[in-house]
Amino acid sequence: MLEPKGVKFEPKHTTVHKPEASPPAPDNDLKNMSPKPCGKFYDTGDQRLAYFIEKGIRSQPLVIRRHLKEYVWNNRRSIFSTPCAGTDAAALVMVAFATACIRVFGFDPDFAMGFKCDIKPSARDFLELMFKDTPFEGVPMFQDIADLCDFKAIDHDGNMRNVPLTNISFTGCQ
């Protein structure tokens, strides 16, 4: 990389393995946060992700922030789904985005998850374990995205269920 004269290049990011790679804390609630062995991302990672989303929102010009606030306000209480869920990162992002909205705009967009879906039984088992004891536990989980167009589909437990209507959908098909 070429450096301008008199300017020393210093990388902004360090390797992931160093503890100092954690983002700076926006306030005291994040200062003592550290990854737990075998801990769930939902327990700590969503706060770090929320911090980065908050930082991104606050870095936008005021007119953009106003439009985003109005858009989120007008679409609060949205119900999202994650067909081809995989690890269901979209659900974690929605939690972090809602947290950032509370911090920046002063209101909770109150997003809810309608359903998730993955054709791989191992992925569904992972999702069941990953989201145990979180607000996403008990959300309908379907087996095959192709079955969803009939508005009834077989869930993870083999039962026929109605497919909930949603207005936001995150797909991650590979």
Q: What is the pLDDT of residue 173?
A: 54
Between CA 35 and CA 18 the distance in angstroms is 12
**Better-predicted residue by pLDDT, 77 or 133:** 77
Q: What is the pLDDT of residue 8?
A: 42
Q: Give 77's DSSP letter.
A: T
Residue 76, classed as helix, strand or coil, is: coil
Q: What is the pLDDT of residue 23?
A: 44
Q: What is the pLDDT of residue 54?
A: 94
Q: What is the pLDDT of residue 69?
A: 94
Between CA 66 and CA 174 the distance in angstroms is 35
Mean pLDDT of the chain: 74
Q: Is 85 exposed, middle or buried (0-12, 13-18, 19+ CB in 10 A)?
A: buried
For residue 4, pLDDT over 90 is answered with no
| Vertex 125: Cα angle to 53 and 159 (nearest 5) | 110
pLDDT digits (tens, 9 = 90+) for 102-143: 999 999 998 888 888 888 888 888 888 877 777 777 788 888
Q: What is the pLDDT of residue 126?
A: 83
